[in-house]
Amino acid sequence: MPPPLGDDDSCLLTPLIPASPPPLPPRATARLHPLPLLVGALFATYYHLLVAPAPSYYQSLFLSLGCNDTAAAHLRALTVRPHLAGTEANALAADHVVSTLSSLSFPTRVTPYEVLLSYPVRRSLSLSAPGHATTTFALVQDTYPGDPYAAASAEVVPTFLAYAASGSAAAEVVYANYGRTEDYAYLASRGVNVTGKVALARYGKVYRGDIVINARDAGAAAAVIFTDAKDYTPGKAFPDGPWMPATGVQVGSTFKGVGDPTTPMWASSEGCERVSIAEAMATDDMPGIPALPVSGRDGEEILRLVGGDVAPEDWQGGEGAPVYHLGPGPAVLNLSYTGNETIATIQNVISVIEGKEEPDRYVILGNHRDAWTFGAADPNSGTAALLELAERLSKLQTKGWRPRRTIILCNWDAEEYGLIGSTEWVEENRAMLTSRTVAYLNVDVGVSGSGVDASATPQLDQLLKQASKKEGSKSR
């Protein structure tokens, strides 16, 4: 028997549910993509998990309640300002989620945690080479004429890599392709020494944290990651098309772990024991060297001044790019970065719709709220869908509907830094969730492109296919 709910079961807004039957198999996960079909597909999936699979009056009613205007209004409210985890703007976005769910008469609460987050303080990057004037990179992303968000651009966090070590390096450049272990092995086979150099790698193939950590392990003094147009701009660039513009920069975390780095394997609840910030930053899951992201335009400018052997064909850029060389040098990068690693408050929002027949069995729908910038696609297209779903379920309740199992709606914080909000909540409620959770569905990037793009554990494969077909969408 799972443990009975008590005062410490804060995630479920006690008291909810009595003791339950024996535990079910491990919970399953899924990730779904886009909006006109998304909410309907989600409900179809939920419907199979919560009630008998036969079509019903309530399912038809749910699908008839669709209104893109409602979801669009939520999306506008959530993305009016950049809302990085730990900021006032993200707390205001949490208030919107709480207000919406509470207005539906669903028990809703905020679960805060104190966690280690990382913010940029100072950064600079300059390029020099014999016979060439020194170039100092602006490290900014351009706005465009008529950009409705240009006025709020001053609130956007400067381009950086979270948890990169503070420090400086001035050294010759070595081009490391995608920064994989096999790329460094190739460099070694060609006699290219990375020790003490600045490793320049392009995004793609592996996680950015691995790119920096692999550079560290190869002996590099610092790392720079650029967005290669070959991989990220296959068509017209924004604002003329959907692809990455030349000055676009990918920011993100370089922490390889999950959860709060100062509370590994336990929750960051108030007054908890934690390792020091210095200890957390010194683990192998942290990059340990200074690093910066740059745009494709800046990356190509650096590569024009890199000499040495010509890189292999599959290391080259796309049409219009310069010929990429391995180095080292003669290009020299002077990189300086100062970060602020600090304990900050994050806020998960948890809401509950109690089940009728199996109230002690949980179907959980989650998505994060925090974003590096405005977060329209990632993540708040998913949050808008979650709120639209909640509003439809509330309307069903006024018609007498109750879910078979309890539905828990979760809006996570600090996901971008390393799944921190969701990890802390699970760590705090591990025993209960292990014994009572039937399924977990994640709706991060709710809308991106056309069709449905989903992945799942084997238990949900067929269910997702059925749900997407029911909504008349193409799936893969």
pLDDT digits (tens, 9 = 90+) for 29-49: 333 334 444 544 555 555 555
- The SS3 assignment for 368 reads strand
Taking phi over 0 as left and psi of -120 to 50 as alpha, with beta for the rest, 355 belongs to beta
* Residue that finishes a domain, picked among 312, 341, 370: 341
Q: Which residues contact 259 (CB under 8 A, 6 or more apart)?
A: 265, 268, 418, 419, 420, 423, 424, 427
What confidence score (pLDDT) does residue 205 get? 97
The two three-digit tokens of residue 54, written as one number: 């036969």
Any idea of the CA torsion for 78, 80, 81, 87, to the nearest 10 degrees? -30
CB 366 within 8 A of CB 422: yes
223 within a domain of the structure (yes/no): yes
Residues of the chain with pLDDT below 70 are 1-55, 470-476
CA distances from 59 to 31, 149, 284 (A): 22, 38, 49
Give the pLDDT score at 471: 58
Distance CA 351, CA 57 (A): 25
Same domain? 384 vs 335:
no
SS3 at position 455: strand
Task: Specify whether the CB–CB gap between 207 and 223 falls below 8 A.
Answer: no
> Looking at 388, 415, 416, 424, which residue is catalytic?
415
Joined together, the tokens standing for residue 324 give: 């990429």
Do 87 and 125 lie in one domain? The reply is: no
Q: Which residues fall within 8 angstroms of residue 62, CB to CB, at 6 or more apart?
A: 40, 43, 47, 392, 393, 396
Look at residue 47 in the predicted model and tell me its pLDDT: 53
Distance (Å, whole) CA 35 – CA 18: 36
Domain co-membership, 248 together with 190: yes
* Contact of 233 with 225, CB cutoff 8 Å: no
| Domain identity same for 322 and 394 | no
Q: What is the pLDDT of residue 444?
A: 85
Measured CA to CA, the distance from residue 452 to residue 34 in angstroms comes to 6
| 208 lies in the same domain as 337 | yes
Q: From CA 33, how far away is CA 379, in angstroms rounded?
A: 11
Looking at the structure, do residues 375 and 424 belong to the same domain, yes or no? yes
CATH number, domain containing residue 251: 3.50.30.30
465 in any annotated domain: yes
pTM comes to 0.87
Residue 362 maps to a domain: yes
Residues contacting residue 391 through CB under 8 Å, at least 6 positions apart: 70, 100, 104
| Residue 218 and residue 145 share a domain | yes
DSSP 239: T
- CATH number of the domain within which 39 lies: 3.40.630.10
Residues forming a β-bridge with 290: none
Residue 327's CB is within 10 A of a number of other CB atoms, namely 27
Is 55 among the domain residues?
yes
Shared domain check, 194 and 281: yes
Asked whether residue 111 is assigned to any structural domain, the reply reads no
Rounded CA-CA distance 400/261 in Å is 45
* Residue 180: domain span: 117-341
Helices 380-398 and 88-103: crossing angle in degrees, nearest 10, is 20
Ramachandran assignment for 444, one of left (phi > 0), alpha (psi -120 to 50 degrees), beta (any other): alpha
Domain count, the chain: 2
Within a domain: 136:
yes
Beta partners for residue 118, in sequence order: 341
Instruction: Judge if 301 and 358 occupy the same domain.
Output: no
**DSSP one-letter code for 330:** B
- HSE-up of residue 94 (Cα within 13 Å, Cβ side): 27
Q: Of 285, 306, 341, at which residue does a domain stop?
A: 341
Same-domain status, 188 and 323? yes
Q: Is 348 among the domain residues?
A: no
Q: Is 273 a catalytic residue?
A: no
Beta bridge partners of 111: 348
Q: Give the distance, in angstroms, between the CA of residue 102 and the centroid of all CA atoms in the same chain.
A: 26
4 in a domain, yes or no? Answer: no
Q: How far apart are CA 30 and CA 463, in angstroms?
A: 11
Domain boundary among 294, 315, 341: 341
Give kind and range of the element (H or E) at residue 253: strand 252-253
Contact 262, 116 (CB under 8 A): yes
The pLDDT, as a whole number, for residue 465 is 79
Helix (H, G, I), strand (E, B) or coil at 132: strand
122 and 208, same domain (yes or no): yes
φ, ψ of residue 281 to 5 degrees: the values are -75, -15
Do 163 and 272 lie in one domain? The reply is yes
Cβ–Cβ < 8 Å for 162, 252:
yes
Strand intervals (E) in 270-331: 291-294
Closest CA to 262 of 289, 286, 288: 286
Residue 94 pairs in a beta bridge with none
E strands along 59-218, which residues? 108-129, 132-136, 161-162, 167-175, 198-202
